[in-house]
């Protein structure tokens, strides 16, 4: 369950947001001044922080700066200060978004949902890009060694471009790509050959990796292109 830290010295606002956030499936923790916000951000490790600006002890600007020293979770500033200068200030010190009071709770929840979706996609992309090896069922590709294993058996007759094409498909499972897109992603924009080369390489990969145990396939999407489909 995702955890949201709501920081505001107005407890009525905290309770109002809590009702909407819990209804959306989130766990909610509170802080009511800037110093407590920094402490809770360290201890509770929330997935996102909704941070008011005008608060006792230390204000939201200073709290945001301190929080940014130890975490990069999304921070949404929540304040009655609606000037352009204040918005720019918040973004410059590390905030990710800015909502002006008075606000509709559904908008705050929608912004939170959007930031968390983006965060998850970025995390997935980073994990895929940082990993030189990918495995889907009985198929494993290692781009450091350019090795492909099917049912734990090393496949030695795949060409480098075929391995690159296979790795791209496996890191983008169930997504449809046109031949032009595959040329761009795998061969590079500087490649001036025709799209026929994509068909030739895919045919070769299919033949070399044919197995009755496969729970995946490089599927032809007629009049569009191809996708790596999990059966």
Question: For position 134, what pLDDT does the model report?
Answer: 92
Question: For position 131, what pLDDT does the model report?
Answer: 64
Question: For position 124, what pLDDT does the model report?
Answer: 65
pLDDT for 192 beyond 80: no
Phi first, then psi: what are they for 163, rounded to 5°? -65, -40
Q: Where in the chain is the domain with CATH 1.10.10.10?
A: 133-230
Highest mean pLDDT among 42-46, 110-114, 126-130, 180-184: 42-46
- 125 or 26, which is more confident: 26
- Spatial distance between the Cα atoms of 111 and 180, rounded to a whole number of angstroms: 35
pLDDT tens per residue across span 19-40: 999 999 999 999 999 999 999 9
Q: Where in the chain is the domain with CATH 3.40.50.2300?
A: 3-129
CATH class of 3-129: alpha beta
- 189 or 196, which is more confident: 196
pLDDT tens per residue across span 196-220: 889 999 999 999 999 878 999 999 9
User: Buried b / exposed e across 22-52, counting CB within 10 Å, b at 16+?
Assistant: eeeebebbbbbbbbbbbebbeebebbbbbbb
9 CB-near residues (< 8 Å, 6+ apart): 32, 33, 52, 54, 55, 56
User: Buried b / exposed e across 97-115, counting CB within 10 Å, b at 16+?
Assistant: bbeeeebeeeebbebbeeb
pLDDT for 161 beyond 60: yes
Task: Tell me what the mean pLDDT of segment 49-70 comes to.
Answer: 94
Instruction: Report yes or no on whether pTM surpasses 0.75.
Output: no
73 CB-near residues (< 8 Å, 6+ apart): 41, 46, 47, 48, 49, 119
Q: Could you give the percent of the chain with pLDDT greater than 90? A: 69
pLDDT for 189 beyond 60: no
Kindly report the length of the chain: 231
Q: Which CATH number fits domain 133-230: 1.10.10.10, 3.40.50.850, 1.10.1740.10, 1.10.287.610?
A: 1.10.10.10
Task: Tell me what the mean pLDDT of segment 53-65 comes to.
Answer: 93
Q: Could you give the percent of the chain with pLDDT greater than 70? A: 94
Report how far apart, in Å, the C-alpha atoms of 177 and of each of 3, 171, 219 are: 36, 13, 11
Cis peptide before 102 (omega within 30 of 0): yes
DSSP state of 213: T
């Amino acid at each position: 369950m995702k955890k949201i830290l709501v920081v505001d010295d107005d407890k009525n606002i905290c309770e109002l947001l809590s009702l909407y956030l819990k209804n959306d499936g989130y766990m909610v923790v509170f802080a009511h001044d800037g110093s407590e916000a920094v402490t809770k951000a360290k201890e509770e490790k929330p997935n996102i922080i909704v941070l008011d600006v005008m608060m006792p002890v230390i204000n939201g600007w200073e709290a945001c700066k301190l929080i940014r020293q130890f975490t990069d979770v999304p921070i949404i500033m929540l304040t009655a200060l609606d000037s352009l200068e204040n918005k720019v200030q918040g973004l410059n010190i590390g905030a990710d978004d800015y909502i002006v009071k008075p606000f509709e709770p559904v908008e705050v929840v929608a912004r939170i949902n959007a930031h968390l979706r983006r965060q998850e996609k970025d995390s997935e992309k980073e994990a895929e890009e940082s990993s030189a090896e990918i495995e889907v069922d009985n198929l494993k590709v290692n781009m450091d060694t350019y090795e492909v294993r099917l049912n734990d058996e090393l496949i030695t007759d795949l060409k480098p471009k075929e391995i690159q094409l296979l790795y791209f498909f496996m890191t983008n499972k169930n997504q449809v790509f046109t031949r032009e897109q595959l040329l761009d992603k795998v061969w590079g924009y500087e490649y001036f050959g025709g799209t026929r080369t994509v068909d030739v390489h895919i045919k070769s990969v299919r033949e070399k990796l044919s197995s009755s145990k496969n729970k995946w396939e490089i599927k032809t999407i007629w009049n569009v292109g191809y996708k790596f489909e999990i059966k």
